[in-house]
């Protein structure tokens, strides 16, 4: 029996009060005495060289403290490892439109921005590469990222199997360049004290920012502290430092004052990453009864010309979503004159599923097999890419639960047959998939003489609910209410945590917190039996049992002690323990899986497409924090509506300038776009990958939405669309 989740179930978000009172502090709220403000002026061209730059008017403008260009800024050491190398203000070369050409420091943000607008430059202009078509000729094979993210793969004889299959589909799709567009733009503040610097950064990876800043600024890591209380949305564009982060810290040292800068909304379209556009060709061969014989999935993704490292690994789902012994995949990157792309919710699988799951949907109609039934016939018995078993695989249960809860049985098989008044109605589905990811993390647990329990790790809260989930992990392990747990995060001097991205945090930091709390209990027991003043003095540590924060002798319950008393007697009045999580190679693999079921309504006269009902079913391990997990799920599904129907950054094909770099004409979902959404989390506890039994949630929830919507549009209209975002014109055309 599967049940829909309800948002009122489970503990409230621990920082909820701060977030409804205006009390939550974001980087732009940083107030420092004598704070100066930085604004960057941007390049008018996308490719070429700065011939001359005139800063005189800006320097003379009211409130201006300093102006820096590539000619006057003392260069930084290229630190390596960044999402984008520091090319801005380092040399005269322009690689993309709006690349910083000058930094203005002024007393106020308004003065800095006004002066930045007074800067003019002359350029030697090269013709920019502004479309995938133009870039294709110079496409190259990217470097491998890790054991899974490799540019090519081949098992069996995929091309031969497709060519000899009785049923074949050859299908090409395109997905758009998109922006993360957090409402809080990327923001940095920095303040020096001698040769030590504090950097406040809206950041999903403060540990990496600390490390990279130290290298670039030429100071030891222990001289850099990176802080962030709350991050105002991230979705991938705040993973570690961007050039503006490091430049801001550099400028603070040069002007001898604390400084702050926020990217302008326009700069959010060039200088903090984007999801690159892709063109994917997928060829699939099936047997007459719908069993996959071969898949060839080739992807071309938009790269920058100045930094070859990012690839959208879009062909990934073909490697491990369905049962197929013959699979070949290939990735190429086509360099264009745009800013550096980066991971954006949900990378790789999120883009590749649009090719794979619309192709399968199409072929299901040709075979006369129900789309869900087709997927049920192709559930992989093991991880065929790595040739190892699954530790858990609830894929069939996902489809069955979705069909039942969505009323799939009532859906007519034929496309174009459902109507409601003047509107065409369609029902479609697609699979959702991401790897179940985890990585090294450390946490510290402590208790003080007042009995306050604290868990600490250098992760940050980007809205996913990490403080709440970590409180729950610690509270459950201790048998105490979550109000008793104090969570410390957002400070790079705390035990190191990984990036808050790739959906790794719960499994990684959550496990580290669990291990730290267990270690703290061990430590408390060990110390109590050795403490002269403790009623447990001299007892065997093994005979001590824990009841919340009370330790009781199992043979003599009158002998008891408390966390607070043990800590009070300890040196320094507190007791600490560390937890270190390092994932083991277990010889099996698991995935974060799901399926999206969607109902759309299409107005055949004006082509308006409306998502009217949506269900997500997910097998994502044990759910630690029901409220925040559910919010992640619905938020991710709405994110997918944006991907399917709205989001696209248009580059001018002649100048490579973004032509819709604002909320005015770069659309994201708003209140009226959002239907009722139901969520089912299946019981899928998997303790193989980590002791919590959790899995990755934050990205899988959005992955199937776009193909499910496209499939529902086909069911409504009989039109098979192959471009994201799907627009009214395409439906009418």
Give the residue numbers marked as catalytic.
699
**Of 351, 221, 301, 343, nearest in space to 643 by CA:** 351
**Of 1, 13, 2, nearest in space to 632 by CA:** 13
How far is CA 79 from each of CA 69, 87, 701, rounded to the nearest angstrom?
20, 12, 35
Which partner in another protein, ligand FES, none is near 319 (CB below 5 to 8 A by kind)? Answer: none
Q: Is 175 helix (H, G, I), strand (E, B) or coil?
A: strand
Closest to ligand FES by CB, 383 or 647 = 647
Which partner in another protein, ligand FES, none is near 29 (CB below 5 to 8 A by kind)? Answer: another protein
Answer whether 368's CB lies under 8 Å from 177's CB: no
Which partner in ligand FES, another protein, none is near 138 (CB below 5 to 8 A by kind)? Answer: none
Question: Min. distance of Cβ 232 from ligand FES in angstroms?
Answer: 7
Question: Min. distance of Cβ 677 from ligand FES in angstroms?
Answer: 16
Closest to another protein by CB, 415 or 482 = 482
CA-based angle 301:302:304, to the nearest 5? 135
Q: Which stretch of DSSP H or E encloses residue 560?
A: strand 560-562
Answer whether 269's CB lies under 8 Å from 378's CB: no
Closest to ligand FES by CB, 180 or 375 = 180
Strands 423-435, 591-602: pairing kind: antiparallel
Q: Phi and psi of 556, rounded to 5°?
A: -135, 85
Answer whether 234's CB lies under 8 Å from 286's CB: no
CA-based angle 533:538:543, to the nearest 5? 115
Q: Is the peptide bond before 346 cis (omega within 30 degrees of 0)?
A: yes
Radius of gyration of the chain (CA): 27
Which partner in another protein, ligand FES, none is near 604 (CB below 5 to 8 A by kind)? Answer: none
CB within 8 Å of 666: residues ≥ 6 apart:
179, 181, 269, 647, 648, 649, 660
**Of 698, 725, 720, nearest in space to 641 by CA:** 725
Which partner in another protein, ligand FES, none is near 329 (CB below 5 to 8 A by kind)? Answer: none
Strands ordered across the beta sheet of 167-175: 152-155, 327-336, 292-304, 278-286, 167-175
Closest to another protein by CB, 204 or 711 = 204
Residues that bind another protein (CB under 8 A): 7-8, 12-13, 15-26, 28-29, 31, 108-110, 180-185, 230-235, 262, 265, 461-465, 627-628, 630-632, 634-636, 638-639, 642, 662-664, 668-674, 676-677
Question: Min. distance of Cβ 186 from ligand FES in angstroms?
Answer: 14
Residues that bind ligand FES (CB under 6 A): 183, 233, 463
Question: Min. distance of Cβ 38 from another protein in angstroms?
Answer: 14
C-alpha–C-alpha distance, residues 441 and 426, integer Å:
45
CA 599 vs. chain centroid, Å, equals: 26
Question: Min. distance of Cβ 35 from another protein in angstroms?
Answer: 9
Question: Min. distance of Cβ 184 from ligand FES in angstroms?
Answer: 8
Question: Min. distance of Cβ 573 from another protein in angstroms?
Answer: 34
Q: Is 171 helix (H, G, I), strand (E, B) or coil?
A: strand
Question: Min. distance of Cβ 681 from ligand FES in angstroms?
Answer: 21
Closest to another protein by CB, 370 or 678 = 678
Helices 243-255, 206-217: crossing angle, 10 deg rounding: 50
Closest to ligand FES by CB, 10 or 182 = 182
Closest to another protein by CB, 11 or 48 = 11
DSSP code of residue 267: G
Token duo for residue 212: 């990279």
C-alpha–C-alpha distance, residues 74 and 57, integer Å:
22
Closest to another protein by CB, 63 or 416 = 63
Which partner in another protein, ligand FES, none is near 671 (CB below 5 to 8 A by kind)? Answer: another protein
Q: Is 139 helix (H, G, I), strand (E, B) or coil?
A: coil
Q: Is 396 helix (H, G, I), strand (E, B) or coil?
A: helix
């Amino acid at each position: 029996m599967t049940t829909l989740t309800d948002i009122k179930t489970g503990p409230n978000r621990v920082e909820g009060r701060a977030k409804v009172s205006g009390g939550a502090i974001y980087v732009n709220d940083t107030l420092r005495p004598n704070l100066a403000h930085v604004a960057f002026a941007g390049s008018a061209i996308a490719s070429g060289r700065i011939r001359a730059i005139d800063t005189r008017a800006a320097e003379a403008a009211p409130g201006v403290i300093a102006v820096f260009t590539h000619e006057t800024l003392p260069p930084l050491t290229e630190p390596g490892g960044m999402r984008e190398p520091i090319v801005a203000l380092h040399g005269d070369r322009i690689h993309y439109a709006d690349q910083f050409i000058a930094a203005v420091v002024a007393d106020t943000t308004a003065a800095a921005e006004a002066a930045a607008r007074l800067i003019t430059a002359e350029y030697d202009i090269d013709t920019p590469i502004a479309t995938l078509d133009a870039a294709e000729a110079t496409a190259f094979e990217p470097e491998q990222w890790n054991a899974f993210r490799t540019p090519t793969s081949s098992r069996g004889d995929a091309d031969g199997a497709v060519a000899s299959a009785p049923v074949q589909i050859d299908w090409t799709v395109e997905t758009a360049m998109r922006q993360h567009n957090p409402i809080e733009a990327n923001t940095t503040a920095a303040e020096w004290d001698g040769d030590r610097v504090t950097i406040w950064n809206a950041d999903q990876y403060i540990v990496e920012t600390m490390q990279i800043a130290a290298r670039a600024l030429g100071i030891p890591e222990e001289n850099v502290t990176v802080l962030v209380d709350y991050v105002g949305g991230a979705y991938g564009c705040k993973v570690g430092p961007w050039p503006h982060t490091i430049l801001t810290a550099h400028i603070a040292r040069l002007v001898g004052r604390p400084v702050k800068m926020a990217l302008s909304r326009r700069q959010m379209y060039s200088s903090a990453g984007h999801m690159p556009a892709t063109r994917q060709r997928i060829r699939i061969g099936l047997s007459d009864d719908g069993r996959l014989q071969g898949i060839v999935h080739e992807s071309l993704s938009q790269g920058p010309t100045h930094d070859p490292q990012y690839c959208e690994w879009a062909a990934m789902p073909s490697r491990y979503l369905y049962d197929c012994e013959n699979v070949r995949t290939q990735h190429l990157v086509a360099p264009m004159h745009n800013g550096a792309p980066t991971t954006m919710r949900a990378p790789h699988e999120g883009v590749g599923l649009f090719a794979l799951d619309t192709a399968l949907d199409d072929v299901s109609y040709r075979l006369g097999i129900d789309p869900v039934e087709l997927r049920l016939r192709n559930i992989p018995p093991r991880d065929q890419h790595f040739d190892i078993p699954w530790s858990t695989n609830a894929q069939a249960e996902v489809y069955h639960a979705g069909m039942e809860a969505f009323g799939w049985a009532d859906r007519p098989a034929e496309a174009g047959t459902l109507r409601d008044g003047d509107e065409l109605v369609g029902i479609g589905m697609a699979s959702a998939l991401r790897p179940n990811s985890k990585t090294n993390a450390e946490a510290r647990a402590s208790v003080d003489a007042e009995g306050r329990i604290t868990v600490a790790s250098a992760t940050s809260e980007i809205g996913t609910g990490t403080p709440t989930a970590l409180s729950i992990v610690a509270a459950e392990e201790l048998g105490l209410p979550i109000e008793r747990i104090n969570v410390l995060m957002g400070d790079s001097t705390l035990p190191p945590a990984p990036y808050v991205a790739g959906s790794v945090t719960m499994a990684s930091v959550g496990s580290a917190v669990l291990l730290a709390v267990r270690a703290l209990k061990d430590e408390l027991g060990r110390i109590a039996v050795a403490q002269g003043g403790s009623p447990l003095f001299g007892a065997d540590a093994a005979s001590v049992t824990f009841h919340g924060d009370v330790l009781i002798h199992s043979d003599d319950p009158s002998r008891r002690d408390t966390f607070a008393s043990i800590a009070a007697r300890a040196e320094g009045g507190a007791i600490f323990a560390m937890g270190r999580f390092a994932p083991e190679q277990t010889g099996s693999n698991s995935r974060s899986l799901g399926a999206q079921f969607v109902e759309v309504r299409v107005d055949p006269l004006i082509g308006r497409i409306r998502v009217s009902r949506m269900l997500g079913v997910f097998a994502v391990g044990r759910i630690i924090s029901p409220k925040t997990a559910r919010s992640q799920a619905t938020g991710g599904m709405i994110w997918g509506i944006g991907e399917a129907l709205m989001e696209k950054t248009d580059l001018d094909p002649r100048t490579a300038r973004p032509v819709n770099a604002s909320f005015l004409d770069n659309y994201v979902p708003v209140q009226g776009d959002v239907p009722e959404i139901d969520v089912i989390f299946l019981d899928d506890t998997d303790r193989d990958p980590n002791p919590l039994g959790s899995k990755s949630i934050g990205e899988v929830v959005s992955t199937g939405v776009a193909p499910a919507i496209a499939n529902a549009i086909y069911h409504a209209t009989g039109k098979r669309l192959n471009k994201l975002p799907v627009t009214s014109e395409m439906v009418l055309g």
